[in-house]
């Protein structure tokens, strides 16, 4: 009995417990490859975003790979769940455009704040505060988060595929100092003309994956990505001409990594972060904003993808409430996510977090840490084959995200929609997530509306204290961000 407690997930002869999870090595590898291809864009986008702050792009490229590899490996080997980690897109934008550009912190100071954020995440995980947050979320809101992530993932695919265009009338948008166009709510979305190769290729990919799924073809999503990539070659959408591998360039990248590695602890980073007492409150609030988004993005991803697929079963959730240390999958997964942010900051990148694109691998059948290990290996190999991986067009990966989003929306069926007391918070969590392009903002809407509904119905005692405090913190966060703009 004592031995089973020590190894709850890895019986003899099966480290990843594949049989109990109803999966196989082949299926897990397919799932890991699917996850990698749907999120590999971060390898090229993250250096572009953070590079605007003055950081060396080649150094950020390597830091992104290292942080993603380590974080994903820990998730797979320690937690045995099929989630991949990488620097978060929304969080890297906050790092660049808000912390560095709007608040005028140096990128070294921003890295220092990210490192502190990671320590905070470790602390609230070890002290079970993250688990307490999960327990405080009503089941209807949790189901809404699951369905909302489905909409969010599908919307990412639709947007990445270039299927939408937005029209803004003169005077309804502004151009920021960083040349970013900020449009008002008058921007009207519409479908693009279906007459460009990339759009037509996307439609081909969607139809192909749908047909493969209807035929119960194993590895349907990964096959769809590869086939769509190959079909795109004669149409000029897939271009392998720049896919040469240069070890000289690789060596130069490693030499430049020294410009970001440990910069968070230097005189321009941690050494000057609290030097100006007038900015102390601003520093604390910025760290809080980093931590709040990171924490709820991760919780939302775990809840949204884990329950429906059985990765986090009801038995595991009940064990979570009584467990000590790291005895459940959720315990280990939360800890793996928590340490990844600080590791990323050490090497030189913004918050490393659990990726919602992991849903693509889960949709392809991934159920254990072998999926994550496969993704991590692909990240590591990307140091050499990055030019090749970068040639896979968004038109090939977007269909996978759209189909996976459809799969995940089944969580909405568990919600009692005719009951407005349940429907209003569920709408806030499920719909705002995609419309605001943020998991944490969707959760914020769900929490806030839940509190409003319960108070209006005279059921204040039904609001869990942690949920109420979280809602208040979200409101304060919105106020601070409004003041800083």
Q: How many angstroms separate the CA atoms of 156 and 404, rounded?
A: 11
Condensed to tens digits (0 to 9), the pLDDT of residues 181-212 reads 788 877 888 899 999 999 999 999 999 999 99
User: Can you give the residue range of the structural domain that contains 353?
Assistant: 13-484
462 or 252, which is more confident? 462
Q: Identify whether 4 is part of a domain.
A: no
The pTM (predicted TM-score) of the whole model is 0.76
Condensed to tens digits (0 to 9), the pLDDT of residues 380-426 reads 998 887 666 667 888 988 898 898 888 888 888 889 999 999 999 99
- Assess contact for 68 and 87: CB atoms under 8 A: yes
Number of domains in the chain: 1
Q: Identify whether 1 is part of a domain.
A: no
- The residue-averaged pLDDT of 350-360 equals 92
239, pLDDT greater than 90: no
Q: What does the radius of gyration of the chain's CA atoms come to, in whole angstroms?
A: 22
Task: Please report which helix (H) or strand (E) contains residue 278, including its range.
Answer: none
Q: How many angstroms separate the CA atoms of 94 and 96, rounded?
A: 6
348, pLDDT greater than 90: yes
Among residues of the chain, what percentage have pLDDT more than 70?
Answer: 90
437 or 29, which is more confident? 29
Which pLDDT value is given to residue 325? 64
Q: Identify whether 99 is part of a domain.
A: yes
- Assess contact for 6 and 325: CB atoms under 8 A: no
- The residue-averaged pLDDT of 417-440 equals 89
* Residues in Cβ contact with 248 at an 8 Å cutoff, skipping those fewer than 6 apart: none
Among residues of the chain, what percentage have pLDDT more than 90?
Answer: 42
Q: How many angstroms separate the CA atoms of 329 and 331, rounded?
A: 5
Confidence bin at 456 (pLDDT 50/70/90):
very high
Average model confidence (pLDDT) for the chain? Answer: 86
Q: Identify whether 55 is part of a domain.
A: yes
Q: Identify whether 51 is part of a domain.
A: yes
């Amino acid at each position: 009995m004592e031995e089973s407690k020590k190894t709850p997930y890895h019986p003899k002869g099966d480290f990843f417990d594949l049989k109990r999870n109803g999966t196989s090595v082949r299926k897990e590898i397919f799932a890991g490859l699917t996850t990698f291809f749907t999120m590999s864009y971060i390898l090229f986008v993250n250096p572009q975003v953070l590079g605007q702050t003055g950081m060396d792009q080649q150094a950020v490229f390597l830091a992104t790979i290292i942080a993603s590899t380590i974080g994903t490996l820990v998730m797979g080997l320690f937690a045995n769940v099929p989630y991949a980690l990488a620097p978060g897109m929304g969080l890297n934008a906050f790092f660049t455009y808000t912390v560095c550009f709007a608040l005028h912190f140096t990128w070294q100071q921003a890295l220092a704040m990210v490192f502190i954020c990671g320590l905070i995440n470790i602390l609230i995980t070890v002290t079970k505060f993250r688990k307490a947050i999960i327990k405080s979320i009503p089941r209807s809101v949790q189901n809404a988060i699951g369905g909302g992530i489905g909409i969010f993932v599908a919307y990412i695919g639709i947007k990445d595929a270039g299927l939408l265009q937005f029209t803004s009338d003169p005077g309804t948008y502004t151009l920021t100092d960083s040349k970013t166009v900020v449009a008002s709510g008058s921007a009207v979305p519409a479908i693009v003309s279906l007459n460009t190769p990339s759009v037509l290729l996307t439609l081909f990919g969607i139809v192909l994956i749908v047909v493969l799924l209807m035929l119960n073809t194993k590895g349907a999503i990964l096959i769809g990505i590869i086939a769509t990539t190959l079909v795109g070659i004669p149409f000029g959408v897939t271009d392998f001409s720049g896919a040469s591998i240069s070890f000289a360039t690789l060596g130069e990248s490693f030499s430049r990594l020294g410009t970001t590695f440990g910069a968070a602890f230097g005189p321009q980073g941690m050494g000057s972060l609290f030097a100006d007492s007038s900015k102390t409150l601003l520093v604390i609030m910025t760290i809080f904003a980093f931590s709040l988004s990171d924490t709820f993005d991760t919780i939302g991803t775990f809840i949204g993808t884990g329950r429906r697929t059985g990765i986090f079963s009801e038995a595991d959730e009940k064990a979570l409430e009584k467990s000590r240390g790291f005895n459940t999958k959720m315990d280990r997964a939360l800890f793996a996510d928590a340490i990844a942010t600080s590791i990323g900051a050490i090497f030189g990148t913004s918050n490393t977090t659990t990726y919602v694109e992991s849903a693509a691998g889960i949709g392809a059948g991934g159920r254990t840490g072998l999926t994550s290990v496969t993704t991590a290996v692909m990240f590591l190999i990307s140091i050499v084959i990055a030019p090749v991986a970068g040639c896979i067009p968004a038109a090939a990966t977007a269909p996978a995200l759209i189909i996976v989003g459809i799969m995940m929306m089944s969580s909405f069926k568990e919600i009692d929609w005719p009951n407005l007391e349940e429907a209003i918070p569920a709408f806030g969590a499920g719909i705002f997530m995609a419309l605001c392009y943020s998991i944490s903002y969707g959760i914020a809407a769900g929490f806030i509306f839940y509190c409003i509904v319960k108070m209006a119905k005279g059921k204040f005692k039904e609001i869990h204290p942690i949920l109420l405090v979280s809602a208040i913190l979200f409101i304060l966060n919105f106020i601070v961000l409004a003041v800083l703009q």
